[in-house]
Amino acid sequence: MRFGTTLGSAGQDRSTWLVLLFLLLGVVAPTACVLWFMNDAATSQAESARQSVTEAYRGQLRLIRDRVDSYWETRATALAEQAGTPEDFSRMVKGGLADSLVYLHADGSPAYPSTAQAPSADPAADRTDWRIAQTLEEREHNIPGAIGAYAGIARLEPEASLAARAAQAHIRNLLRFGNRDAATAAILEYFAGGRLASATDLQGRIIAADEHLLALRLLARGDGRRPAVLQRLIGFLNDYRFPIPSVQRLFLMDEVLATGVKPETFPTYAAERLAAQLLEAEPVRPGAGLESTRVPDLWKLTAKGGRMVLLLRSASVMNSMRTWLKEPGFEVFPPAIKPRNEAIAAGPMLPGWQVAFTSQNDRLMEAASRRRTAYLWVGYVVVASMIIAGLLLGQTLRRQFRLARLKTDLVAAVSHELKTPLASMRLLVDSLLEDAELDPQKTRDYLALVAGENLRLTRLIENFLTFSRIERNRQRFEFTEAQPASIVQSAAGAVQERFQQAGCHFVVAADSSLPPIQADADALATVLVNLLDNAYKYTSGEKHIALRAFYESGSVVFAVADNGIGIPPREHKRIFRKFYQVDQRLARETGGCGLGLSIVDHIVRAHGGHVGVKSQPGEGSTFSVSLPSRRSDGRAAA
């Protein structure tokens, strides 16, 4: 019977794996299936909810489309009431009603913003004073003369436009003459305010605005007059009551922006630029509904009556729809975007556009996915706690199994080991009883044999009892100050009778000067008797057994040496396991049950020491028990 291997670490590993396998099959796999079902159910629930919402929304989608269409219809109609002045342009743009717009004349040509105007007939052409000034400047290159002539007209001419043009020519000639300071002073004098401030030239441009830009260029950066000039120019450009043509306004705005002022200075700049971009790209004609333009991502909406064209970027259309609809979940998309959810074509006012539902569904899907994640987390936590509980349960079960097995093994070992000595004692007694006359010598011999078997039985039972106490944690030690020599003597005394037989040479060596140790002397004697017993059992033929006690590196060492069969090195650790035997057949013959060394190990550990073995097959064995000693002088004893 070889019990050791069944209780070894391999056996423990196997039972742990079995518990894990059981957990996997019994707990994890079903839970994973449940989780999968839950996940699947949550997904299909979300899907069916999405479908029913889609159904409900589909009907609403048509209503939304009609509302959107009538919104644009109404907007186009409402815009028809606009007068269409540059002031209206500024107001509409600043009010965020459009990204830009273009007012049209009755003939369909752009009124504001517009492309450059053709010059009108020159009223000065017939005037003698003007012609003289022109001749002086252009033919005779008499600049001082021209300066005087133009200055005269500018001062005396009652008609503002003509006076302003003369002033402009005066300034021009001052510059040609190289007199920058005089030119700057003249600009400020003529145009800083007064009657010439809003005079226009033949192309309808405000002369004062152009002259202010000129002054800005002439004035040095640090000149104290510069900020006022800049402010006045910005004022001109932002004041839509001034009839500045859009081309001039945009040009001047660009120039001013180039000097480094902030873009917010001109709230209408982007709208002016957008309109100019469109006017450059295509002739703006009145149309119907929201139509695409040649400018990418730009849409135009013609007001009823055809006099006003609203310009809108896709994002502005979508934003205005979002705020106006006030219906979360619906959105309007330009042709370039493909909505994620179901969409239908928008009405005739928005050709190519689509109406779709969005956010409601997204929110629904988000809620579903949140729910699914929560389910999964709950599942993970449940599985994890089941695994932990299962592991704890497995551990407890394993311990119970081990104990139950130990009990069975012990019962089997006890009954098996008791059988042999009992049988041989009965045999000896029976054969004595069979004799009619008792032969004194034979009787003595037989009784000696019976006594030997009895001793063996007693030791076996003692070992069983010690083992059982150890297993039940009932083994108590009584530590007292013990003399190593007396422990050696009591162990040697216990085996003496057997060891004194022929063929056995027993040596005992223990110095009485060895330091005392804290020990349970009886328990240590049991240890040595067990080791001596083994030495006797596992040595065949001539036996040489030695029991020694000596001092070595802070420890008292008890060594039991024999010249027996020896133990292979790979077995040196295993022999200390419970019920472990190297050779089962031999053990049966010698009458062991594999408990002796496990008891030895337990007792020595309880004393804070350790057992070692030196052995090779065929070369005998030496078992050493080292116990800590308090003596520090290192005196060795033989």
Residue selected from 86, 289, 594, 609 as contacting ligand ADP according to rule CB under 6 A: 594
Task: State the number of binding residues for ligand ADP (CB under 6 A).
Answer: 21
Q: State the SS3 of 441-501.
A: HHHHHHHHHHHHHHHHHHHHHHHHHHHHHHHCCCCCCCCEEECHHHHHHHHHHHHHHHHCC
From the list 384, 374, 389, the residue with the least C-alpha distance to 32 is 384
Taking every pair of Cα atoms in the chain, the longest distance, rounded to a whole number of angstroms, is 186
Nearer to ligand ADP, 314 or 598 (CB): 598
Place of tokens 């001062």: 155
The answer to whether 595 contacts ligand ADP (rule: CB under 6 A) is yes
CB of 417 to ligand ADP, least distance (A): 9
Residue selected from 538, 550, 551, 558 as contacting ligand ADP according to rule CB under 6 A: 538
Residue selected from 587, 603, 611, 637 as contacting ligand ADP according to rule CB under 6 A: 587
CB of 592 to ligand ADP, least distance (A): 2
What residues between 597 and 636 interact with ligand ADP by CB under 6 A?
597-598, 621
Per-residue CA distances from 590 to 192, 421, 425, 461, 513 (Å): 132, 11, 16, 16, 37
CB of 425 to ligand ADP, least distance (A): 20
State how far Cα 413 lies from the chain centre.
59
What residues between 271 and 330 interact with ligand ADP by CB under 6 A?
none
What residues between 212 and 241 interact with ligand ADP by CB under 6 A?
none
- Binding segment for ligand ADP (CB under 6 A), chosen from 356-364, 424-432, 533-541, 628-636, is 533-541
CA distance 527 to 545: 16
From the list 303, 626, 598, 563, the residue with the least C-alpha distance to 471 is 598
Cβ neighbours for 294, distance < 8 A, ≥ 6 positions apart: 278, 281, 282
CB of 396 to ligand ADP, least distance (A): 29
Nearer to ligand ADP, 246 or 534 (CB): 534
Per-residue CA distances from 85 to 115, 208, 233 (Å): 16, 21, 21
CA distance 310 to 84: 11
State how far Cα 76 lies from the chain centre.
53
Nearer to ligand ADP, 171 or 597 (CB): 597
The answer to whether 582 contacts ligand ADP (rule: CB under 6 A) is yes
What residues between 540 and 579 interact with ligand ADP by CB under 6 A?
562, 564-565, 567, 575
For strands 354-357 and 330-333, give the pairing.
Answer: antiparallel
**Number of residue whose CB is nearest ligand ADP:** 592
Place of tokens 């579903």: 368
CB of 561 to ligand ADP, least distance (A): 9
Residue selected from 275, 535, 549, 611 as contacting ligand ADP according to rule CB under 6 A: 535
CB atoms near residue 46 (< 10 Å) = 18
Residue selected from 457, 583, 614, 631 as contacting ligand ADP according to rule CB under 6 A: 583
Within 13 Å of residue 399, how many CA atoms lie on the same side as its CB? 6
Element (H, E) at 621: strand 621-628
- Binding segment for ligand ADP (CB under 6 A), chosen from 275-283, 329-337, 551-559, 582-590, is 582-590
CA distance 533 to 530: 5
CB of 11 to ligand ADP, least distance (A): 18
Nearer to ligand ADP, 35 or 412 (CB): 412
Residue selected from 483, 581, 624, 629 as contacting ligand ADP according to rule CB under 6 A: 581
The answer to whether 42 contacts ligand ADP (rule: CB under 6 A) is no
CB atoms near residue 354 (< 10 Å) = 20
Residue selected from 82, 354, 534, 624 as contacting ligand ADP according to rule CB under 6 A: 534
What residues between 327 and 346 interact with ligand ADP by CB under 6 A?
none
Cβ neighbours for 14, distance < 8 A, ≥ 6 positions apart: none
Nearer to ligand ADP, 40 or 589 (CB): 589
Residue selected from 237, 593, 611, 627 as contacting ligand ADP according to rule CB under 6 A: 593
CB of 583 to ligand ADP, least distance (A): 6
CA distance 268 to 242: 14
Binding site for ligand ADP (CB under 6 A): 534-535, 538, 562, 564-565, 567, 575, 580-583, 587, 592-598, 621
